[in-house]
Every structure is written in structure tokens, then in C-alpha cells.
Amino acid sequence: MTLTHIEHIGIAVEDLKSATEYYEKVLGLKCYAVEEVKDQKVKTAFFKVGDTKIELLESTEPDGPIGKFIEKKGQGIHHIAFNVKDLPNALKETEENGVRLIDSEPRKGAEGMNIAFLHPKSTFGVLTEFCENPQDKK
């Protein structure tokens, strides 16, 4: 498989608004998109840092994956996302290498990306996301 770069780092926050203020006012980044991903029960805010993005994640429901994560571990880094060239093939290869997948099939993530998660039990504790930009295929 080919990983091209770190697409984004996902960070779980309790309050998107105050976290956005920190990233904008203190770190000087610009929030260029806010998007709700209903499927994941999250509201996201995106910032660009070179080729990599910061994806802030606020839970819209206490029982969503981010709500549960914060309850268990507190705010902080939630996942790391690699950009991959061929997501279905990357998932197949990963599974063949004995890694547990959360998503065996690609699904739609924020920004129209095709995404899939690997299980942190198989990735040394790091929830890992693969992202494929459908625009890259054209």
C-alpha cells in the first residue's frame, strides 16, 4: 500500500467553539470548514497546517464515539489519519497482515473522503484512519 502523508490528526474536544478560538487566536491557524457528520455523531472543525489538517471533533450526543472517548480518556488526540492511494486495497492488505479492522468497507467521512478505521488493539494503541480522496482518482 502507499501512504502519501498524514492527512489529518483528529482531536476530541468538549467544546468546539473554545477549541477553535485557541487554534485561531493562539496558534494562528484558520478554521476553513465546520461540518457535522451525523453518522459519527460529531461536529468537526478543520484547520490546515501544510499538507496536514487538524480535525477537531465535538460530540453531538453523549453516547457517540467521541462522547464516549472523552468520558473514558478525557480530551486529546483521538486518531491519526493517513492518506492512502487505494483504500479498498489498503484495507485488504492490512487485514491480510492480521490487523483488526473497524471498517472492512470504505465509508463516507467528512470532506467527501472515503475513510476506514483500523482497530487500536491491533495498531499499538493508536486509532488509525485511512483516507482516500476521491478527487485523486480523477
Subset of 112-131 contacting Zn ion (CB under 5 A): 129
Contact flag: residue 64 with Zn ion (CB under 5 A): no
The span of 2-10, 16-24, 32-40, 96-104 binding Zn ion (CB under 5 A) equals: 2-10
Residue at 78: amino acid letter: H
Nearer to Zn ion, 45 or 81 (CB): 81
Contact with Zn ion (CB under 5 A) among 11, 16, 19, 81: 81
Three cell numbers written together for 124:
499499538
- DSSP classification of residue 28: -
Nearer to Zn ion, 58 or 129 (CB): 129
Give the number of other CB atoms < 10 A from CB of residue 19: 20
- Residues comprising the chain, all counted: 138
Rounded Cα distance, 89 and 101, in Å: 13
Nearer to Zn ion, 25 or 82 (CB): 82
Rounded Cα distance, 45 and 20, in Å: 7
Task: Please provide residue 98's backbone torsions phi and psi, each rounded to the nearest 5 degrees.
Answer: 85, 15
Rounded Cα distance, 105 and 137, in Å: 18
The span of 9-17, 29-37, 63-71, 100-108 binding Zn ion (CB under 5 A) equals: 9-17
Nearer to Zn ion, 129 or 132 (CB): 129
Contact flag: residue 67 with Zn ion (CB under 5 A): no
Contact flag: residue 10 with Zn ion (CB under 5 A): yes
Residues in touch with Zn ion (CB under 5 A): 10, 81, 129
